Structure 1
């Protein structure tokens, strides 16, 4: 493969022998392994196109099918579960692999392939086969890749479809991403690889561009793996496309960006001196130019951002807090987004998702969102008006993108027309609002209002999807169209009157006027009445029971009618394209309006949730306080019957930095940990929170270590994964961070685990002073509260009965001295004999274990140095 081409990972190699290839080895031949001159003319053309689009599966139109050949046929047959057949490739070549799909099923199959991470190049016939001399002329008309699709049928409405580009240089990196359907285009750079992986996890890009053969990547290759060209620390479950390093050269990338946005410098975009960010953005733009050769993708101005502007969440924290999908089965229901998303529009749904995954650190911005929610909650009429209008607004972001790229159809323009009409009505209803978020919709730019009137005057109320078959432009919009239609109507009326006229003139009462697509209009006369046919009739066709005739005038009218109809379609298409170009010229303004609509929708959703779920407005501060009164888990409380969830208090950062939380299994410790993290996150995304009162200091990072999981792919045990995640927390947390730990040290021997847990807790409390909740079954850790002044003990209390325990799910001050693990096993259904034996064993362990005898207090904490001494007797 040439340097200028792409390689798409992980789908680079074709495992041909695993397919149903028969015994003909020719079916396993690649297109570049055959002497080109030996192939048939059609396959030569296919191979030439494949060279031009090496990164894509080439679907080649042949009659009513889109065919694939060579290695692409093997891939398509495997991924779409089609029968792999063969086609004669030439006298000396033999049969080559072939697999095809019906042309009418193209959209469905393309969606499947794109979801599997493949790029697709569509080669259509651009010449009428009936008029072709030799091979029918074909050209690649569309290129679809997972990160560059514009077709609404291939996109998820309520989430962005990001294309990302990554540059690595030593320990530094540059990242750019764009959503071609909405125009969003952003770039950043950093110096910690963990931050890059976290940002990619936030974006969940459909496709990631990586420069091939770059010196900074060669040191990181993993040749022993199938994905040998990926840097070792990049996630390998996304679709990667290797690109020529030339696209990412600094000078070329900068020039490409300046030319695209018609500027002399990137200073206005904030990345003039961010070389890696600029290289990534320029490489991404080169890819878009190549995959969209037929049209220009309208992008918003490049936006440069810093990760330090937002609350940082590492991949483990996003996963453990179940922000957009559950840990158990990856479903949307049961996630935090599911619990708070009441948005009406697709734009609002996408924005709410972005807010959730990128919480703020700017107190002013957070306050502005809280103010908007407060205004909406206080005015039910405003909420109802806004909701009613939002229901009538279509996806303006993506509609503007399709118009700008020249792919919008008549119904897309009608959707824009209806949305503009609604926006004007909404603006009139928002004259008295105060929040800047809502004020942004209180006026509609004059050019957009005028554009809506233009579309309303030109388009029929319900236009068709097709832009080339007429029925788009309403009567009265364009005089030449009206004149053409009048001529057509007159000719059609003449034909309608012809039957009665000819019956009267010929005296044949059964004479009929008919029409077929093949032979056109005709006069039908039964065989018994043929003798009465006038001499002016010209015989056209003889059938068993009738004769078909035409007249000179009928033939003339038919030709004129057909020509006029074709000309009418052409005229309508021309006017439609003009309308689409007018919309494209205002794409930036439309997207600005779309952003305002999305924000209002997202805030209305948060207001509705706050109102009906009983959320409160958090008081946000710049100190380290974290005080929650009657806090609740926003998801669990919605999954339980009303009134079943038990709220709890939390107080950190004032007197206590570290909370040691003990209690039995299944009592709610993990739920409590998560609810504190979610409340902090919700507050900083600008939402109200599930509590009766909350005072929250801004948090720069949230870390969680919850649940047991192994990583078999890299040979890491559950305990090793736990230690890796714990190490990441201790190496990155600070005094403004929130750390939520569950069962540190439980994956190894008891004494080892206790030692690790004790040491980690000390380090968090004394060195990092992070606000921390440390849930554990090592109730020995309760002694830390007597040794360190910023540690407090809390427990999840239970009610003990003679034969059972009842979990109260209440967090109260004090430390538990038992773990109730055996009782949890009994509740899980372990056989009674096993439970009885476990109690006997526990009695023996408690009798002989030095740790269980009791902990001796020892002054390990030196308040002068705020550190644990290197020596000293442990308290057990």
Structure 2
């Protein structure tokens, strides 16, 4: 009813008058189209076109929302929910609004919560509009299509992904609209699709469906039977129609966009699902950008086999970009290595860490650049000094190409272009490939930088239509208008003393306000002295305000000239922005070279200050690390506190049979002694080496790995009803089903989540399978000391332990990894260090002694241990060295 008070929980009741044209207002309510006011009717039209977006409707200085959108925005942004008259028969409806100048800030909050936003802005000047001001949706902002600087993380890409699934085959495309990156790939394993999405961490994923709920946006965690099970639910999904994803339409859209006759040059002509995914993504970007065209780079096709595969669990366990405990940046490998000084460099470093190389030549090219930067410390420091002055060329170019860059963006581009020759001069004598890429400065960009700098003022305003953008001397017409404005302002400034002299009224004043313009003010007491040519304009309590014909003429000229000046400046600025947009591809090419140089300068700085070495990379299976260190832990500890340890796998140690390389290490030792740190250390050193970095070691020779697997710790997956042990078994199964002889496998405590003998049997079988059937290079950390017997039975297995020093009432952890197997776990001592009460520790020791004295486990189980199964595939190195039919004595001791 009219006048009722709306609330977030219960919208005000309205007449339930059904008509042919109605719009949803709230659950079980509808409003009659003809009963709406003209403005509200237009809002409803826009809402019907974008039913799954929040429509922000420009009204004066505010963007307003109505009906359910108002309730949602008030709830999400913690705004006051008010109401607005929507029609005589309807009454007041919910209203929530935000100031237009705070649009980016509020949109950021809404996008982070997974909402899509349709910006319905005024597209004509309200001052000249007749009737309702013309409004159109000028932009649709979704989590994956953001380009505004204030809504993006500078050091991380904002990816939009598009997925097509056909049986067990899939195609995926992803793009960063802000930087222009546009890539596609195709695969045959749905687990690969899941892992690739988890690597990219897209802000939004598009998925085509045949359903009435098209356009709906599923926020993270939402469940839907329209999505296949292989897609992880922690992302924001937008359901799309099948049309743009058809093979013919997707192919044609790509050909038209990049002006091609064939997709062969893009590398995806033979990948139909990849083409469909890319075409569907391109259609979505064009649909959301509306009046602008996002300057995406030509589509690039990549294969997952071109990079070291690191699954989501391994990324989490190795803490590559964030810590496993609380998901923070500090304490991650990225934190330890990031010495970049540009936003582009920060994003590139993250990408290199998540996609290490398999190509030895590519790795060595990065290494050679670091070597050169280490040898010439002055060059490195000067390069970093100059790089700090380079702005985010990728995203600035993207905004210029899409027509959304402001004057400050163009000034930043100009400053960056004009500093490129300085970078080129510094790298003039460089011989490494990544520094040589800096030596060439495109003359077009240098000239463009000079043009921008000569046209734009030093510090331009934020808003483009209010003038003060262009320097004097750039445009003759603009200079003439400005001079006219100066002359008129000067005349108005001289009017007050002239009129005082002419009228003899010493208190006469000339003033201005926005409502009435310029006026002459005379006090009421002396109003009778006003000249005859004064025209009364306003009467106040203490004064009379007048206008003269000449003052009115000057006022009109001032306003008209100001409007002409602003329009002309905006026109000149648009031409400048278009010139920048024409060079987007060239700018991004330069940005890529600058970003890579920034990353390598940072890696060189880490290497020199942390004492890293250059690893020798080859195609062998060698992992030979001398005095390796954990790159993160050593930075968190005081200098000199970290104990380095060596590691040799896939190699021939001097103290072993030369015919049998060391593939599997059984690592034993007490809790809290450093086993897990050692495992992660080996994995991180391998990863760093394959991304082209130096590594924390005294020396290293490393063969290229195809995959790194880790299984370190596990937690309950309550949402899917899986226990800790089941999660552990799932992860272990994934490793055993995908590992190859070129993989690096790091296992910590397999089989600890079940009964002792079940767990020991599983651990034995897993270790045996990795060593004999797969022959993957593996470190197997365990408290099952019985596994040490594998070294005596399988030639490529070795025992190592983390040593301790035993004292009468305590042990001292030495954190040193040495050959040999431990026969104790020291679990009670670990409990003492954790702070268990003294009485509990003493009782545990008493119980342990009693168990050791009376235990018959060894006798009862002797001869009943699991036997290793016959290998399906054995290398010639192991042939004849291990008889699987031999009965193993798991628990016997020599």
TM over 0.5: yes
Name the SS for the 2:255 alignment partner: helix
Preserved CA contact (<8 Å) 1:780 1:855: no
With 137-146 and 597-606 compared, the bigger mean Cα shift is at 137-146
Contact 2:116/2:143, CA 8 A, preserved across alignment: yes
Listed one character per residue, the Cα deviations across residues 687-746 of structure 1 (whole Å, up to 9, x for unaligned) are 000001010000000000001212111111110000000000000000000000000000
Q: Which residue of 1 aligns with 2:727?
A: 721
Q: 1:261 to 1:848 in 2, by over 3 A?
A: farther
Shift of 1:463: 1.2
Report the equivalent of 2:879: 864
The answer to whether the Cα contact below 8 Å between 2:184 and 2:300 also exists between their aligned partners in 1 is yes
Q: Does 1:298 align with 2:304?
A: no
Q: 1:607 aligns with which of 604, 609, 612?
A: 604
- Partner residue of 1:267? 264
Distance 1:291 1:23, change over 3 A: closer
Correspondence for 2:148 among 123, 138, 151: 151
Residue 845 of structure 1 corresponds to 851
1:760 pairs, out of 761, 766, 771, with 766
Matched, 1:479 2:484: no
Structure 1, 687-696 or 76-85: larger mean CA deviation: 76-85
**Are the structure 2 counterparts of residues 260 and 492 from structure 1 closer, same or farther at C-alpha, using a change threshold of 3 Å?**
same
| Aligned 1:790-829 pairs, distance under 5 A | 790-829=796-835
CA distance in 1, matches of 2:383, 2:850: 68
Assess if the C-alpha contact under 8 Å between 2:12 and 2:93 holds in 1: no
User: Which of these residues, 517, 520, 528, is aligned with residue 520 of structure 1?
Assistant: 517
Q: Secondary structure at the match of 2:648?
A: strand
d(CA) in 2 for partners of 1:611 and 1:321?
Answer: 23
Residues 482-511 of structure 1 show CA distances to partners (whole Å, capped at 9, x for unaligned) of 111111111111111222222222222222
Deviates more, 1:33-42 or 1:241-250: 33-42
Deviates more, 1:173-182 or 1:835-844: 835-844
Which of 159, 178, 181 pairs up with 1:162? 159
When the two chains are superposed, the root-mean-square deviation of aligned CA atoms in Å is 2.4
Q: Is the 8 A contact 1:227 1:236 kept in 2?
A: no
Match of 1:354 in 2: 351
In the superposition, the TM-score normalised over structure 2's length comes to: 0.92
Distance 1:457 1:309 in 2: 46
Give the drift of 1:116: 1.0
**Alpha-carbon deviation of 1:873?**
4.5
Residues 313-324 of structure 1 correspond to what in structure 2 (within 5 A)? 313-324=310-321
Q: Are 1:30 and 1:71, in contact at CA under 8 Å, matched by a contact in 2?
A: no
Alignment of 1:100-139 (within 5 A): 100-129=97-126, 132=129, 134-139=131-136
Contact 1:32 1:47 in 2 (8 A): no
**1:606–1:687 Cα contact (<8 Å) kept:** yes
- The one of 173, 184, 192 aligned to 1:195: 192
User: Secondary structure of 2:184's partner?
Assistant: strand
CA contact (8 A) 1:409 1:467 kept: yes
Quote the residue 2:875 is aligned against: none
Change (3 A) 1:782 1:850: farther
Q: Counterpart in 1 of 2:738?
A: 732
Structure 1 residue 681 corresponds to structure 2 residue 722: no
* Residues 716-725 or 382-391, more deviating: 382-391
Deviation of the 1:850 alpha carbon: 5.1
Shift of 1:134: 4.7
CA distance in 2, matches of 1:311, 1:63: 54
Q: Gapped runs of 5+ residues in structure 1?
A: 1-16
Aligned to 2:776: 770
Report the Cα distance in structure 2 between the residues aligned to 1:751 and 1:214, rounded to whole angstroms: 51
In structure 2, do the counterparts of structure 1 residues 345 and 484 end up closer, same or farther at CA, with 3 Å as the change threshold? Answer: same
Deviation at 1:34, TM superposition (A): 4.5
Q: Which moved more, 1:93-102 or 1:266-275?
A: 93-102
Q: Does the 8 Å contact 2:795/2:881 carry over to 1?
A: no
Q: Tell me by how many angstroms 1:440 deviates.
A: 1.3
Corresponding position of 1:406: 403
Q: Is the 8 A contact 2:607 2:695 kept in 1?
A: yes
Tell which deviates more after alignment, 552-561 or 155-164. 552-561
Worse-superposed segment, 124-133 or 298-307: 124-133
The 5 A counterparts of 1:13-32 are 19-21=8-10, 24=13, 29=26
The 8 Å contact of residues 393 and 419 in structure 1, kept in 2 or not, is answered as: yes
Greater shift, 706-715 or 360-369, is seen at: 706-715
* CA displacement at 1:874 relative to structure 2: 4.5
Q: In 1, distance between residues paired with 2:211 and 2:637?
A: 53
2:866 & 2:250 partners in 1: Cα distance? 63
Query: 2:575 is matched with which residue: 573, 578, 591?
Result: 578
**SS state at 2:281 partner:** helix
Provide the rounded CA distance (Å) in 2 between the counterparts of 1:18 and 1:745.
55
Within 1, Cα distance between the matches of 2:550 and 2:211? 73
Equivalent residue runs for 1:320-339 within 5 Å: 320-339=317-336
Q: Find the residue that maps to 1:660 and give its secondary structure.
A: strand
Give, in angstroms, the shift of residue 528 of structure 1. Answer: 3.5
User: Is the 8 Å Cα contact of residues 862 and 889 (structure 2) preserved in structure 1?
Assistant: no
- The aligned residue for residue 703 of structure 2 is 697
Deviates more, 1:666-675 or 1:77-86: 77-86
